[in-house]
Structure 1
Amino acid sequence: MQAVPNHSYRFLSTAATSDGSVLAVARDNGSIEVWETATWTCFQRLPGREEASLSCMAWAQDPVDGSERLFTGGLDGALTEWDLRTRQPRHVGDSFGGAVWALAAEPRGQLKEGEAPRVAVACDDGVVRIFTAEGLSPGLTYARSMPALGSRLLSVAWHPSGKSVLVGTAAGTLHSWDLASSRELLRINVGDGGGKEQCVWAALVLPDGTMVSGDAAGGVQFWDARLGTRLASFHRHAADVLALAAAPEGNAVFAAGVDSQLAAFKLVTGQKGKPERWVFTESKRPHSHDVRTLTVAAVLGGDPILVSAGNDAQILVHSVPCFSQEHPVRVCKCPQPPLLAHASGAALPHLLSAQGTQVDLWCLGVAHNRQQHAVSLSGWAWAEGAPVDVGQEPRHLARIAAKGPGHVAVAAMSPDGRAVAFCEAGPGSLRLFRLTSAPGSEAVALSRQSLPDKLPAAVALAFCADGSRLLMATPDARVVVIDLDKNEVTQTFAEAAQQEESATWSPGEAGASGRSAAARLASVVTQLLVSPDDSWAAMVTPRLTHLYDLTAMKYHGRLPVFEEGGAVTAAAFGPAGDVIALATAGNHVAVLEAATLRHTPWSLANTARPPQRLLQMPGSVCGISFCPDPQIKSAVLHTTSSLCHVDFEAPAAAGAAKGRRRSRLPQPDPARSAGANFRVLPLENPCLLCTYTSTNAALLVEKAWTEITKTFPPPLYRHRYGT
């Protein structure tokens, strides 16, 4: 069953905020992911567009309210500022010079209070243009241009003083421009004098003014800031060097490119009075394909980190001080996930899969003689780990295409499988379809249903159990209830929007609050869900969870905030609708009563000191699914690489006793036996969805990396010994 389209999107560019708490990553389909670096949680995804051409990105700080603003440049010549709440462009402007190959924001240490930061743009017409990010004004404002160079500009970097910029060209030259006088300070030919032009794909200026270039010949070269003479030259790469990054102190430089190699260079002190010099220290190949981007993030309260990404759809995090001693951490453990929705109330469970501009509907398969293979007191009829006979294969029901070039941003399916709703980013794009089938026929007919006019943009959707009402969450944290039978909006809840606004950073507290960029940007809606009995609805943001009483049609309250564990990454109502379970990026799990907004006795006993096996699950919990039987108080939690069964009425299983001497034979662990509480099962392939379909059956959606790698462009060929 190909429930997930065969798409794998490569990473093109990365950019970190000044405090290193947020990392933005752009894929080649135009989508942007926003990650919190403290727990490495992707708390926002901005959908892309068909024929997208993002090439670079940069963060700039608003001089009035101090908020972080994200700008991107594209090969179509567009300069775009993004609204992370609405997930759509806030402003789209023109570069006035064709394709944009690189962006660089002015160093913040040189900005005066209230001064608008400048952004340097490397354009296709050979001109570096300076734009400003004016306070509370959307988009970039053109300020001035440097003289044309007659060759395409591929890279740009600011001098730490903010008085000059360095650009690299397709003609193999570096140019340093004084911004006040528009005078060229230095012109450097990075080639060897042989007459062959070498594209300068990457340029960098260190805190002491030393300039660094990475070119198409695989060279990494260091240049004197005052005279422009070559200080050091290295050719450790077998192909183009596409990215450079430096440690905050400027004593280490990292380079990567087409040959998938990460090379480290260090400034060492000379002996016996000799001057400092740059030396090559080490190289690694943690990536399997081209490395397109490098970023160093100076994380508050911790060591700076190096983030690398590229064509292998992997995000790897390295410690800058311990680059030689430690292995990198893989952050992106699964392919770009599609939007998945499951309908368990239908006679045969249905699955919705939305990716790109397509929405696919599937009827799931069933196990052979499922009714005869129910769970008994003695255990399962099938042996654990054994393949299950399939009595009916999954079948594709329908495919719906989006209206415009924008990718589907949010989608939902009614629990009975008879209604589907989806929309792109932005207002007025919500579409609703009804599914009907003739008796005895496998064919499915789709009929579009009208919706009320002037609906706001939706960032999350959820159907009630009977499919008669559709709930939508707006970018400003409002919840709109639509009666589908009457085709009208019956209620709009605005209480959570007011609380989210008051909980976020205030402009008047810029100097005192010291809140990180992640805290300021985290007021985005990540999930909207309805209880199985239609009594409650919950809207989840990374920091807060709001509850609504759908019987009385009023705002019920806010669930207690997690003191530890990071952002909320998953939520689910119990089968009776009386409790709601929450999980955080640190794998802390709590169960709360919906009526009282208080922790259950089990939660009080286990939230303060969570079981170690739960905390040590690989990855962060991204899904919770309760057993549909109200008499069974258990759920399955899943990360992208493991599953965990939790019984909310039983204590955690004790670990294996430790002996004084290590035995050569493996010792049985009670927590790994079948049925043990908090038992963790590792998965071979990335898990995109795990949910119960009935009391004795569950659906697991995986996407193997072996299938993903087939879509990658081939890496640089390297001859290996013996081949």
Structure 2
Amino acid sequence: MTAQENMIVHRSRFVEFSAGNITALAFSHKSDAQKLTPSELRLALGRSDGSIEIWNPRENWFQELVIHSGRDRSIEALCWRNVPGEALRLFSIGGSTAVTEWDLATGLPLKNHDCNAGVIWSMAINECQDKLAVGCDNGTVVIIDVSGGPGCLEYDTILTRQEARILTLAWNKDDYVIGGCSDGRIRVWSALKGADDRGRIIHTMKVDKSKKESTLVWSVLYLPQSHQIVSGDSTGSVKFWDWDHATLTQSFKTHMADVLTLTRDVAGNSVFSAGVDRKIFHFQRNHNGAQKDAKWVNTSNRLIHGNDVRALCSYQSKGADFLVSGGVEKCLIINSLSAFADGKYRKMPLLASISKNMIINREQRLVVSWYASTVRIWHVGQDFDGNNNYRLVCKMVLKDEQNITTCAISPDGQVLVVARPSLTKLFHLQPLETKLKVTKLDNSLLLRTGCSLVQFIDNSRIAACSTDGELFTVDLESDQDDEMSLIELPEVPQTKSSAKIPYMNKINHLVVGGDLLVVGRTCGAVDIVNQTTNESRPLVRLMNFITAMLLNKERESIILVTAENKIYEFNLKSGKQHSSLLTDWSKNNTDNLPMQLQKSTDKVLGISYTESDPNMVWFWSSSWISRINFSQDLPLSNRRKAKKHDRDGLTITDDSNFMDDLADVEDENNLELTEALQFLSSHTRRFKPEGTSKSKDEKSFFFTDKYKLIYHADLIAEKELIIVEKPSQAVGPHHKAVDLPKLLF
């Protein structure tokens, strides 16, 4: 940035943000070291606030989907069912008597199956993935049959009840259920259908007693290769038990506090344990001769968490080698499983989602943030030298049980839309001295329509995507508040990935500019809608995940950033002069992006610009901010291109990609894009962007990583950039700028 620009940066550390602890982790596929990584591999992450996140481990990991739950809910365990010919199914439990199956296409519960056996504490799925075992606080293990297809959960049987709460469960293939209990015992039930002893307890093993309190067995694991059970308990011990004789073979008092979670590698030669003392320990089998006599050795440990570790999970294939962990620290941490002792690890940013929880209103200089069922609105002043340049002007708490999915504010800052999975509410905002007067507005259509995305077209009209995936517009000032205008989008051909993952063709981006809407889907399909005529047409099928999208009205273009941090600009102009899909700038620069962007593992989460200066486009991630001048070419880089995948074991390195289905899809937009990309790789600098300026006062590229833990960034005025960072400890509940009573709606 040059001194002539005088860009003012508001470093906003007053916006509160919180997230639930990580309580559950589960990979969608079983490890197989002999196979390539499937393109459908996903990680499900559950939090104590009831939300579920779906992560894709490609391109240094990115978050594809967030499922919002309700008030006072939590996710205590997650299980996938993954069988050929059927879409992935996800089950969860959390502080209730029911098992929930989620509809991944809508983000809503598909089925809540009540087990009628007390609050459920644990859950595990068998090897064939047709039976779920759930452990309850009344000592019951209930077997549920899930083989009937999506939404079908049927009672199978109840295993012999005992008196202790069942804290953890594991299966030995499809034949036996292993449970860790609150009385310090490990019990094994026979679960094979048709067996004479089905339902009976066939083994009981007892761990060491604590002198002060009863011992809890928090985690159990079965090792098929060595026919052993591994347990972790509240005394900090990790124990290895012989399956055949139900006897203790080895015990390690490694942890200083409770061992909450265990996982293993695909070969069964490594076991990892973690818990309250924050450390992850690695145990390895030392063969040294006969396989039968192999002993376990505590080989290493690492302290990479800042607080309790609640969940561990691992996955291995030819191109993947992951040990993932999470807990009270809230951040997902990625390790290399085979290079655990001295390999690199990465903490994922706490806010790494494309589904934002913050928006900026430029006209009224408002910052709107939301979490769970609470909306906070801040006013940012223009007293740049003062200490009180911000003030909380509104705090709303919604009484509904569901958590907020998205919000939108009108350009004039007077109407606020708050959406939940099954209903959407409108509020009128009126400035009143040092706060906003909030009035609820009635709209019967929106009150019965849940939305996942909402954008204002102007001050009185909105475009929205319903939870069911329908795109529509609504005139908020119409006398007929029951009317919506539905928009039919071009169909996206079904592929192997979209058949396996229900949300692949779901809308996850919606941007508005003038009379155009731009719609992006998880699979990388982008469509253009003329909202005055409701006509739609496909723009491009990228076959890559889009992390950020911007409609630049003045340049008549759409700017997209993919998960590999590649920036594309596509033409909206018509005519012979602009018949190409890619703009001249994109042809010259998409394959010549600066090394800071190519090497960054943090994804671009947002793009912004001002109408007075449309060529200056800002990009931000959770750790850096950049500005690119689209009227100039970027400087040519003589360095080697960044490697597509690093070899540190923290991302997928084989040939599998986001969607291994391009050959299955025949679409003229794919062909057009393929030709354009081939052009990029074989041509350089044949075109000169319009209005090219070679002024030394305007750099073509600016980059800074001085701001850390960025929650949001946007232009709040022409020469004013607001960067919302991690809150300062100095701003507490009694600070006068945040002292405001909450409004209940």
Do both share a fold (TM > 0.5)? Answer: yes
1:332 to 331, 349, 352: 349
2:253 to 235, 247, 250: 235
Aligned residues of 1:157 and 1:205 also touching (Cα < 8 A): yes
For 1:329 and 1:206, the matched residues in 2 are separated by: 28
Residue 95 (structure 1) aligns with:
115
**Alignment pair present for 1:360 and 2:385:** no
C-alpha spacing 1:268/1:303, structure 2 compared with 1 (3 Å): farther
1:122 to 131, 135, 147: 135
For 1:681 and 1:134, the matched residues in 2 are separated by: 52
Deviation, 1:19, is: 5.5
1:144-169 per-residue CA deviation (whole Å, 9 max, x = no partner) reads 0110121111110011x311111111
Residue 431 (structure 1) aligns with:
425
Amino acid in the other structure paired with 1:177: W
Q: Give unmatched runs, 5+ long, in structure 1.
A: 369-388, 506-514, 659-672, 711-723
Deviation, 1:445, is: 2.8
C-alpha spacing 1:272/1:68, structure 2 compared with 1 (3 Å): closer
Aligned residues of 2:369 and 2:376 also touching (Cα < 8 A): yes
Alignment of 1:285-434 (within 5 A): 285-298=303-316, 300-334=317-351, 339-344=357-362, 346=363, 348-368=364-384, 389-390=385-386, 393-426=389-422, 429-434=423-428
**Of 701-710 and 546-555, the range deviating more from structure 2:** 701-710
Deviation, 1:196, is: 6.8
Aligned residues of 2:713 and 2:724 also touching (Cα < 8 A): yes
Residue 50 (structure 1) aligns with:
71
Amino acid in the other structure paired with 2:202: L
For 1:82 and 1:177, the matched residues in 2 are separated by: 28
C-alpha spacing 1:305/1:390, structure 2 compared with 1 (3 Å): same
C-alpha spacing 1:705/1:286, structure 2 compared with 1 (3 Å): farther
SS in 2 for 1:135: coil
* Equivalent residues, number: 642
Deviation, 1:403, is: 3.4
**Alignment pair present for 1:534 and 2:515:** yes
**Bigger relative contact order (CA 8 A; separation at least 6):** 2
C-alpha spacing 1:570/1:273, structure 2 compared with 1 (3 Å): closer
For 2:191 and 2:50, the matched residues in 1 are separated by: 32
For 2:500 and 2:23, the matched residues in 1 are separated by: 22
1:37 to 57, 62, 69: 57
Deviation, 1:121, is: 0.6
1:692 to 671, 694, 715: 715
SS in 2 for 1:503: coil
1:598-640 per-residue CA deviation (whole Å, 9 max, x = no partner) reads 210111222244332221234011111123324x412111110
Deviation, 1:516, is: 8.7
SS in 2 for 1:80: strand
SS in 2 for 1:453: helix
C-alpha spacing 1:709/1:137, structure 2 compared with 1 (3 Å): farther
C-alpha spacing 1:648/1:218, structure 2 compared with 1 (3 Å): same
1:589 to 561, 567, 573: 567
Residue 223 (structure 1) aligns with:
241
For 2:17 and 2:430, the matched residues in 1 are separated by: 28
Q: State the TM-score, normalizing by the size of structure 2.
A: 0.81
For 1:535 and 1:516, the matched residues in 2 are separated by: 27
Alignment of 1:156-171 (within 5 A): 156-159=169-172, 161-171=173-183
Identity of aligned residues (%): 24
SS in 2 for 1:412: strand
Deviation, 1:493, is: 1.3
Aligned residues of 1:303 and 1:320 also touching (Cα < 8 A): no
Aligned residues of 1:530 and 1:538 also touching (Cα < 8 A): no
Residue 145 (structure 1) aligns with:
158
For 1:335 and 1:260, the matched residues in 2 are separated by: 23
For 2:357 and 2:290, the matched residues in 1 are separated by: 63
For 1:469 and 1:310, the matched residues in 2 are separated by: 42
Alignment of 1:204-283 (within 5 A): 204-208=221-225, 209-271=227-289, 275-283=293-301
Residue 26 (structure 2) aligns with:
15
C-alpha spacing 1:216/1:341, structure 2 compared with 1 (3 Å): same
Q: State the TM-score, normalizing by the size of structure 1.
A: 0.83
C-alpha spacing 1:46/1:3, structure 2 compared with 1 (3 Å): farther
**Alignment pair present for 1:623 and 2:606:** yes
Deviation, 1:693, is: 2.0
Deviation, 1:238, is: 0.5
For 1:521 and 1:18, the matched residues in 2 are separated by: 17
Deviation, 1:227, is: 0.9
Amino acid in the other structure paired with 1:603: S
Aligned residues of 1:8 and 1:335 also touching (Cα < 8 A): no
Amino acid in the other structure paired with 1:588: K
**Of 534-543 and 121-130, the range deviating more from structure 2:** 534-543
Aligned residues of 1:547 and 1:559 also touching (Cα < 8 A): no
**Alignment pair present for 1:605 and 2:588:** yes
SS in 1 for 2:160: coil
**Alignment pair present for 1:82 and 2:135:** no
For 1:406 and 1:309, the matched residues in 2 are separated by: 25
For 1:67 and 1:76, the matched residues in 2 are separated by: 26
Deviation, 1:58, is: 0.9
For 1:518 and 1:353, the matched residues in 2 are separated by: 34
Amino acid in the other structure paired with 1:326: G
For 1:600 and 1:331, the matched residues in 2 are separated by: 33
SS in 2 for 1:603: helix
**Of 184-193 and 402-411, the range deviating more from structure 2:** 184-193
C-alpha spacing 1:103/1:708, structure 2 compared with 1 (3 Å): farther
C-alpha spacing 1:143/1:134, structure 2 compared with 1 (3 Å): same
**Of 568-577 and 579-588, the range deviating more from structure 2:** 568-577
Deviation, 1:534, is: 3.4
C-alpha spacing 1:290/1:709, structure 2 compared with 1 (3 Å): farther
Residue 147 (structure 2) aligns with:
134
**Alignment pair present for 1:459 and 2:440:** no
Residue 463 (structure 2) aligns with:
471
For 2:123 and 2:550, the matched residues in 1 are separated by: 41
SS in 1 for 2:437: strand
For 2:473 and 2:697, the matched residues in 1 are separated by: 43
Deviation, 1:552, is: 2.8
1:702 to 716, 719, 725: 725
Aligned residues of 1:59 and 1:69 also touching (Cα < 8 A): yes
Aligned residues of 2:511 and 2:518 also touching (Cα < 8 A): yes
1:316-343 per-residue CA deviation (whole Å, 9 max, x = no partner) reads 1111111123021112344999611112
Aligned residues of 1:247 and 1:304 also touching (Cα < 8 A): no
Residue 216 (structure 2) aligns with:
199
SS in 1 for 2:483: strand
1:278-310 per-residue CA deviation (whole Å, 9 max, x = no partner) reads 111000010011000101123x54133111000
Deviation, 1:585, is: 1.5
Amino acid in the other structure paired with 1:43: E
**Of 536-545 and 10-19, the range deviating more from structure 2:** 536-545
For 1:73 and 1:56, the matched residues in 2 are separated by: 6
Aligned residues of 2:63 and 2:352 also touching (Cα < 8 A): no
- What's the Cα RMSD here? 2.9
Deviation, 1:223, is: 1.0
Aligned residues of 2:221 and 2:231 also touching (Cα < 8 A): yes
For 2:732 and 2:168, the matched residues in 1 are separated by: 29
Deviation, 1:354, is: 1.2
1:374-408 per-residue CA deviation (whole Å, 9 max, x = no partner) reads xxxxxxxxxxxxxxx24972222222332312211
For 2:288 and 2:519, the matched residues in 1 are separated by: 63
